[in-house]
Structure 1
Amino acid sequence: SLPWTPRLVGLLDRARGSLGELAGLLRTLPNPYLFIQPFVHKEAVLSSRIEGTQAGLVEVYALEAQAPLFPLGETREDAKEVLNYIRALEQGRELLRELPLSLRVLREMHAVLLQGVRGQSRAPGEFRRGQNWIGPPGSSLAEARYVPPPPQAMREALDALERFWHQDHGLPPLVEIALTHYQFEAIHPFLDGNGRIGRLLITLMLLERKLLPEPALYLSAYFERHRNTYYDLLLEVSQKGAWEAWLAFFLQGVQTEAEDAVRKAQNLVELRQTWRERYQREGSSAHLLALVDLLFQQPLLTVPWVRERLGVTHAWANRLVNRLVQDGILEPMGQSRRNRPFAATAILEILEV
């Protein structure tokens, strides 16, 4: 039985309220896809950063826009992992259109997550067949901080988790998601990528349980800011059954990040409206207005990217980009003249605050 203390009840009510406000806002957005993409990227960056990657939003957007020689080296590899996180989420959402939440969905997401990146030799899409453990780099099983169940017990635990998803247990959905995240991380069924899949599972369940219409809650921001507490509380559930502390932490995170997402979404909507009204008053071309909208999906871009997305000539794409540079909406980055990246810094600043 869960410890339904007055503190937990209050946290649950506040988390529900903040999440409901975010859901309501998302349903009123003029073009949800444009505004959701920045949040998806933010969640992917921060969830991956918990696992040690260093790529930020700028590096990820630069890789997407195929800006030459940017990002470089290790950061480029990190950015590839972040993009795989986004693709894994897209794969999960696509599968949920036809399938219930299931172990199959998790395996297929995992295969996408590790495709072509550093974990590609770690059995993408397959549950582990050997023992793993969690500890400092290079630590042995004897030195492990936590040892997940061996393969046979792991499989039984996964089957129980899948049954739990489809039982009518009467738990509030947010509590169910918090329990699921802990249980998945405790089982640790993959050789690599367990943390990221576990956090993707939170996003999928928010969508599948109809708590959000779009994946706009970047709970990894809260986990990353409180990384040590996040790990410690998960471990304390395993060692001491400390459910109340974990649930309180999770619900506080939902409230905090939902309120932050509402502020950011409102700021992005206002910024888009300001820019569009300006160019509509001036009688600017439909292509310029379309490019303004695209900035919210891809706030770092190149002229070839604009040419391809808008279906215009290179000269016209260059003219559109230069207009936004002259108006202070885009800023050139780096010294390269060929395929030079340009950033909508106002959008990036809203996301990074």
Structure 2
Amino acid sequence: MNNRLRSSGRAGRYVRQPLDYSAFIPNALPPLDPPLSIDIEMQDLLSDADRALGRLDGSIQTLPNADLFVLMYIRKEAVLSSQIEGTQSSLTDVLEAEANLLDARRPGDVVEVINYIDALRYGIDRLASLPVSTRLIREIHEHLMSGVRGQERNPGEVRTSQNWIGQGGSTLNNAIFVPPPAHEVGPALSALENFVHSNERLPVLVRIGLVHAQFETIHPFLDGNGRVGRLLITLLLCERQALSQPVLYISHYLKANRQRYYELLQGVRDEGAWEAWLKFFIEGIRTVSDEATETARKIVSLREAHRKLITDTFARAAASALTLLEDLFKHPVVSVKYVAELLGMTQAGANVLVRRMVDAGLLFEITGNARNRAFRYGPYVDLF
């Protein structure tokens, strides 16, 4: 049976449109008929996820100069979220692009991942002056879509035409899901914004899970909705102070369970299955929080081990090597020219230092070139 005819009405309703297709009109949050059921299973999941988030936040705050490491978490989330949408870029592609290394083999969509990084960092900074809102969502979308595939689809502008979700070549009449028509998008976003800042007595993760699913159902842009919706998860965690830094790569869980992710979102629309979606979402938060905490622990151990290695074996070059090491946590791919400029030394001196770092197993040459070589801080990148 066509799933557009099976909606329970709890999450919204399918409405036949003038061109003879059915579009889904979501109800305002929270679910009311019946009200959301937070049963014992969900309470246990929430308790575990809250503890995991607390451990993650604590572990990040114990990192020396946490800002150095946060960018790698953001990069990982950007890569994974973009891969869900079909991009082929890897973390290594992104690091090399940021280091201005040209490689014809690199996927052209690496710019989309870099835009995601910029959009997330912009959003986090913007929270200081603007709460999560339709305006902020539009600004983030503009950063995300500028200069990449879909840039012709009005970056930063809510759609004024119908879109749909389906396989390549699908139409409005055989799409998997048709979001609300354009004239319903503005009111739906306003209702969502009201819910975000309402006084509803709901656990933070329940609220965020509801918001993410509702945003994906509204699908307010012609492109980039999935990525913006996942960005919203991180922004809301930070705004609600569940995390002090954007170090949760939720897309790792969503990508690993992609089919289930899509099925549960559709289950909300067709069957009003909010609870099933929320349990999946909360379990995902717990899972990736634990993974990110373990990554933070490994970062601390790696940094201590490598600082000791340099101090014990680099003699007079130790001071310069330690300065370079700290910078590698922020810029894990470097050239000899970059090292020379960073440390204020000659090209020849930088070349000697880089060679010593290679011999120590800290840096690895990645271009295979005789000239214009680049080096990756492999042990650190491998943690992600």
TM-score where L is the length of structure 2? 0.88
Amino acid corresponding to residue 99 of structure 2 in structure 1: A
User: Partner of 2:212 in structure 1?
Assistant: 181
From 259, 262, 267, give the equivalent of 1:236. Answer: 267
User: Partner of 1:337 in structure 2?
Assistant: 370
Would you say 1:316 and 2:349 are equivalent positions? yes
User: Partner of 1:222 in structure 2?
Assistant: 253
From 74, 94, 98, give the equivalent of 2:129. Answer: 98
* CA separation of 1:229 and 1:308: change in aligned 2, threshold 3 A: farther
Q: Contact between 1:11 and 1:248, CA under 8 Å: does it hold in 2?
A: yes
User: Partner of 1:272 in structure 2?
Assistant: 303
Amino acid corresponding to residue 177 of structure 2 in structure 1: Y
Structure 2 unaligned blocks of 5 or more: 1-34
Secondary structure, aligned partner of 1:301: strand
Would you say 1:51 and 2:85 are equivalent positions? yes
The list of structure 1 runs, each at least 4 consecutive aligned residues, that deviate by more than 3 angstroms after superposition, is: 281-285, 307-313
CA–CA distance in 1 between the matches of 2:172 and 2:148?
A: 26
Percentage of matched positions with identical amino acids: 47
CA–CA distance in 2 between the matches of 1:269 and 1:323?
A: 23
User: Partner of 2:103 in structure 1?
Assistant: 69
Query: Aligned-pair distance for 1:21?
Result: 0.5
* CA separation of 1:311 and 1:236: change in aligned 2, threshold 3 A: farther
Query: Aligned-pair distance for 1:142?
Result: 0.7
User: Partner of 1:251 in structure 2?
Assistant: 282
Query: Aligned-pair distance for 1:108?
Result: 0.9
Mean Cα displacement is larger for which, 291-300 or 126-135?
291-300
Return the index of the structure with the highest Cα Rg.
Answer: 2
Mean Cα displacement is larger for which, 306-315 or 162-171?
306-315
CA–CA distance in 2 between the matches of 1:112 and 1:311?
A: 34
Query: Aligned-pair distance for 1:182?
Result: 0.3
Secondary structure, aligned partner of 1:342: strand
CA–CA distance in 2 between the matches of 1:171 and 1:71?
A: 48
Mean Cα displacement is larger for which, 300-309 or 27-36?
300-309
Amino acid corresponding to residue 345 of structure 1 in structure 2: G
Tell me the alpha carbon deviations over residues 124-167 of structure 1, each in whole angstroms, 9 at most, x when there is no partner: 11110000000001211111100000111111000001111111
From 16, 21, 36, give the equivalent of 1:2. Answer: 36
* CA separation of 1:312 and 1:234: change in aligned 2, threshold 3 A: farther
Mean Cα displacement is larger for which, 308-317 or 5-14?
308-317
* CA separation of 1:311 and 1:33: change in aligned 2, threshold 3 A: farther
Tell me the alpha carbon deviations over residues 253-299 of structure 1, each in whole angstroms, 9 at most, x when there is no partner: 01110001111111111101111122233444432112111222222
Query: Aligned-pair distance for 1:70?
Result: 5.6
Amino acid corresponding to residue 203 of structure 2 in structure 1: P
> Which structure 2 residues correspond to residues 1-353 of structure 1 after superposition, within 5 A?
1-69=35-103, 71-72=105-106, 75=107, 77-282=108-313, 283=315, 284-351=317-384
Amino acid corresponding to residue 354 of structure 2 in structure 1: V
Q: Contact between 1:330 and 1:343, CA under 8 Å: does it hold in 2?
A: yes
CA–CA distance in 1 between the matches of 2:77 and 2:55?
A: 19
TM-score where L is the length of structure 1? 0.95
Secondary structure, aligned partner of 1:16: helix
Amino acid corresponding to residue 8 of structure 1 in structure 2: M
Structure 1 unaligned blocks of 5 or more: none
CA RMSD of aligned residues (A): 1.4
Secondary structure, aligned partner of 1:54: coil
Tell me the alpha carbon deviations over residues 204-242 of structure 1, each in whole angstroms, 9 at most, x when there is no partner: 011110011111110000000000000110011011010
CA–CA distance in 1 between the matches of 2:195 and 2:251?
A: 24
Which has a greater percent of helix?
A: 1
Query: Aligned-pair distance for 1:71?
Result: 4.7
Query: Aligned-pair distance for 1:311?
Result: 4.4
* CA separation of 1:150 and 1:312: change in aligned 2, threshold 3 A: farther
Q: Contact between 1:65 and 1:305, CA under 8 Å: does it hold in 2?
A: no
CA–CA distance in 2 between the matches of 1:295 and 1:70?
A: 25
